[in-house]
Amino acid sequence: MPARPLCFVLIAALASACASSPDHSAPANPAKEESGSKAAAAEKKPASPAKLTQLRHGVEVARIKLEKARMDASLVASDNATNLDRAKVELELAARRFEHFLKSEKPNKTAETLLQLQAISNYYDEAVEELQQLELMYKGDELGDMTKEIVIRRAKRQLERSKTNLEITKESTRHTIEDKLPLEEQRLRFELTAKETELKRAERQGREAEGDKRIGVLEAESSLLRAETELAEAEKGGS
């Protein structure tokens, strides 16, 4: 029998060794499979009665907080409406007072003051004329000097009083027209501006307060939803 070449012998030996070698693939990990089974069993473990009671109490507390938040929001909205109505009424009254002053009170007071000044001025002119008439009348009169002097002095005193009254009235008229009425107009204008500012402030503060309370209601609703979801999951796990 002829001898085989050496290369064929080596190939045959390698093929035989590969065919007879054992499978070295990694076996399954029993410890890992056992850990996964325990985790799944723990997730499905029902909540204890104490835990369920605690979760139910949490839901009830969340409901009470939500109800309180809604009541607070309602009260704030009511207060804001009242404050706005009051601010609007006060602004309207201030506007009416200012308009009445410009259209009626100021012109009437000015006319009344000037009329009073004219009357006092007329009294003074009449006192001057009366004294002049008395002096002319008694100039060539044969009445006694004493009687003449009494009448003339009385007329002069009346003239002096009329003059003083006229000066006082002139100053009072000037004060009323140049100082008092302009100051009253300024005060009413300032009051009107202040009421306009108060209304704007009430509107802004009302929006802010209602917004804060609305946020509180939304947060309370979210808290209640979380509590109800947690309780439902716990009760489902025990069924």
Whole domain around residue 129: which residue ranges? 47-237
pTM of the model: 0.65
State the pLDDT confidence band at 1, using cuts at 50, 70 and 90.
Answer: very low
And the tokens for 223?
A: 């808290």
pLDDT at 187 over 80: yes
Is 92 within a domain?
A: yes
pLDDT tens profile 114-162: 999 999 999 999 999 998 988 887 776 555 567 778 888 899 999 999 9
What is the per-residue pLDDT for 17?
Answer: 45
| Number of neighbours of residue 92 by Cβ within 10 angstroms | 12
CB 61 within 8 A of CB 230: no
Is 38 within a domain?
A: no
What is the per-residue pLDDT for 8?
Answer: 45
Is 174 within a domain?
A: yes
pLDDT at 195 over 80: yes
Is 64 within a domain?
A: yes
177 vs 105, 184, 204, CA distance in Å? 12, 11, 40
User: For residue 83, which amino acid is it?
Assistant: N
Region 208-226: mean pLDDT is 96
Is 171 within a domain?
A: yes
pLDDT tens profile 70-93: 999 999 999 999 999 999 999 999
State the pLDDT confidence band at 44, using cuts at 50, 70 and 90.
Answer: low
pLDDT at 69 over 60: yes
CB 55 within 8 A of CB 231: yes
Mean pLDDT estimate for the chain: 84
pLDDT at 57 over 80: yes
Distance of CA 161 to the CA centre of its chain: 60
DSSP characters for 3-47? PPPHHHHHHHHHHHHHHHSPP-PPPP-HHHHHHHHHHHHHHTPPP
Higher per-residue pLDDT: 43 or 66: 66
CB 179 within 8 A of CB 89: no
Cα gap 226→65, rounded to integer Å: 13
Cα gap 146→159, rounded to integer Å: 20
And the tokens for 87?
A: 């601010």
CATH number at residue 61: 1.10.287
What is the per-residue pLDDT for 185?
Answer: 97
Is 56 within a domain?
A: yes
Q: How many independent structural domains does the chain possess?
A: 1
What is the per-residue pLDDT for 238?
Answer: 60
Is 233 within a domain?
A: yes
Residues 6+ apart with CB under 8 A from 57: none
Higher per-residue pLDDT: 17 or 109: 109
Collapsing DSSP to helix, strand or coil, 7 comes out as helix
42 vs 36, 51, 223, 224, CA distance in Å? 10, 15, 27, 27
Region 187-207: mean pLDDT is 96
CB 44 within 8 A of CB 237: yes
Provide, rounded to the nearest whole percent, the portion of the chain with pLDDT above 90. 66
Burial of 94 per CB tally in 10 Å (0-12, 13-18, 19+)? buried
State the pLDDT confidence band at 9, using cuts at 50, 70 and 90.
Answer: very low
Distance of CA 11 to the CA centre of its chain: 98
Is 192 within a domain?
A: yes
And the tokens for 108?
A: 């009437």
